[in-house]
């Protein structure tokens, strides 16, 4: 199993002083994503109040687009650039090329707030496409076929994002939300693959005697069912067939999660945060089956995935990988634990409060938004010096 936390480098040392933001992919994209996650709620409020005029993307579509193609995609790209160098033993973007990709991401965030639809479409679709090319180069050079599918998923996300924009521009007749759902499925598959690789390993390394295991049949069922769900959404399958598929997918992921011994991790926040986040995946799938049957709102299922699973795995992995790749101890302090708890509470409030007390939905959304913003704002403040300064052990990275 490839080790994610340390990248093998030549034995040369560098100064621990200076500016290191562009030395490895996780640094700028973790910082940008966490800052954007904290500020985007304020942008949402300004747009809702009409203070931003008439931007190109508006309302819930803007919110979904930015949380998926802005926040989540930035973290995925940062992680893949960092891990991809370890998998391939080839360089991934650093320095000026990495800064250019970050600038392209920033341009996408700004352009969707303007009336310039075509510019926004091109910038936003270009970012995952450029990231796919940048990732493909080291994989092809090293013959790392095992991870080629990440390139394909980034290309799929680029196509889904372009479809969202072309619908808004009147070029396509397919509803923009189809592109959002397909991209969500692609992100779900990426998370499922990465969680299966790292959570059992991190559990056994961080919790002696945990004995987290993987079974080939369960792995195939869990990952294969997500791919089937993605195909079903591309084909716009609805009704009982989709509900049954989502239920079977939930059962496979719940079985997979139980093999990782999550109840043994409660004394290690850096580990339990990943287990709790992953549990939101079967919750999302059950709620999606119920939403297909008309028993709950689709929003509950979407936010179980976006806030609970995506948000939880991101805050957990951003702390762990940033610590590991800057030479720091793999141990969460009280501030990081507070971030974990706030994201968890944000998910619980956003998903279940509107189901239990629909009359208080607005208050639940506001409470969840504040918890989310506080968690990622705290991360951005705490990790600014970590992400912008060289490793404390003097190694490159």
Token couple for 133: 């090319």
pLDDT for position 45: 63
**Token duo for residue 211:** 């004995």
Please tell me the predicted confidence (pLDDT) of residue 2: 39
Distance CA 257, CA 277 (A): 11
**Angular region, 155: left φ>0, alpha ψ -120 to 50, beta rest:** alpha
- pTM for the predicted model, two decimal places: 0.92
How many C-beta atoms surround the C-beta of residue 173 within 10 A? 7
Residue 225 has a pLDDT of 97
Position 78 scores a pLDDT of: 97
Tens of pLDDT along the chain (397 residues)? 433 334 334 334 444 568 999 999 999 999 999 999 999 877 776 666 566 667 777 788 888 999 999 999 999 999 999 999 999 999 999 999 999 999 999 999 999 989 999 999 999 999 999 999 999 999 999 999 999 999 999 999 999 999 999 999 989 887 768 899 999 999 999 999 999 999 999 999 999 999 999 999 999 999 999 999 999 999 999 999 999 999 999 999 999 999 999 999 999 999 999 999 999 999 999 999 999 999 999 999 999 999 999 999 999 999 999 999 999 999 999 999 999 999 999 999 999 999 999 999 888 988 999 999 999 999 999 999 999 999 998 887 7
Contact (Cβ atoms closer than 8 angstroms) between residue 82 and residue 138: no
What is the pLDDT, as a whole number, of residue 52?
65
What's the pLDDT score for residue 151? 97
CA separation for the pair 93, 141 (Å, rounded)? 14
- Contacts of residue 171, Cβ cutoff 8 Å, sequence gap at least 6: none
Residues 6+ apart with CB under 8 A from 130: 101, 104
Report pLDDT for 10. Answer: 38
Per the structure block, which two tokens stand in for 255?
């079985």
């Amino acid at each position: 199993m490839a080790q994610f936390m340390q990248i093998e480098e030549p034995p040369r040392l560098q100064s621990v002083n200076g500016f290191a933001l562009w030395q490895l992919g996780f640094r700028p994209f973790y910082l940008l994503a966490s800052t954007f996650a904290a500020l985007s709620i304020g942008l949402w409020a300004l747009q809702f109040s009409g203070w931003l005029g008439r931007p190109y993307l508006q309302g819930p579509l803007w919110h979904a687009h930015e949380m998926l193609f802005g926040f989540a995609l930035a973290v995925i790209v940062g992680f893949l650039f960092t891990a991809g160098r370890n998998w391939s033993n080839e360089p991934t973007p650093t320095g000026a090329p990495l800064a250019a990709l970050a600038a392209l991401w920033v341009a996408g965030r700004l352009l969707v707030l303007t009336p310039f639809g075509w510019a926004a479409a091109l910038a936003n679709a270009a970012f995952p496409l450029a990231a796919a090319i940048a990732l493909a180069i080291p994989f092809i050079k090293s013959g790392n076929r095992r991870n080629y599918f990440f390139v394909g998923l980034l290309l799929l996300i680029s196509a889904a994002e372009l479809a969202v924009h072309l619908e808004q521009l009147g070029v396509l007749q397919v509803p923009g939300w189809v592109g959002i759902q397909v991209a969500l499925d692609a992100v779900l598959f990426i998370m499922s693959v990465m969680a299966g690789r790292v959570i059992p390993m991190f559990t056994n390394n961080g919790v002696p005697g945990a004995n987290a295991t993987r079974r080939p049949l369960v792995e195939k069922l869990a990952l294969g069912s997500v791919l089937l769900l993605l195909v079903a959404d591309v084909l716009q399958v609805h009704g009982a067939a989709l509900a049954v598929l989502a239920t079977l997918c939930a059962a496979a992921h719940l079985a997979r999660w139980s093999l990782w011994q999550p109840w043994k991790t409660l004394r290690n926040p850096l580990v339990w945060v990943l287990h709790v986040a992953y549990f939101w995946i079967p919750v999302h799938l059950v709620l999606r089956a119920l939403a297909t049957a008309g028993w709950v709102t689709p929003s509950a299922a979407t936010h179980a995935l976006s806030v609970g699973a995506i948000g939880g795995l991101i805050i957990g992995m951003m702390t762990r990988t940033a610590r590991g790749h800057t030479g720091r101890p793999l141990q969460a302090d009280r501030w990081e634990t507070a971030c974990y708890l706030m994201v968890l509470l944000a998910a619980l409030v956003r998903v279940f409060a509107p189901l239990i007390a629909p009359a208080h939905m607005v208050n639940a959304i506001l409470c969840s938004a504040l918890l989310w913003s506080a968690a990622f704002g705290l991360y951005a403040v705490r990790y600014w010096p970590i992400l912008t300064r060289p490793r404390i052990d003097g190694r490159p990275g």
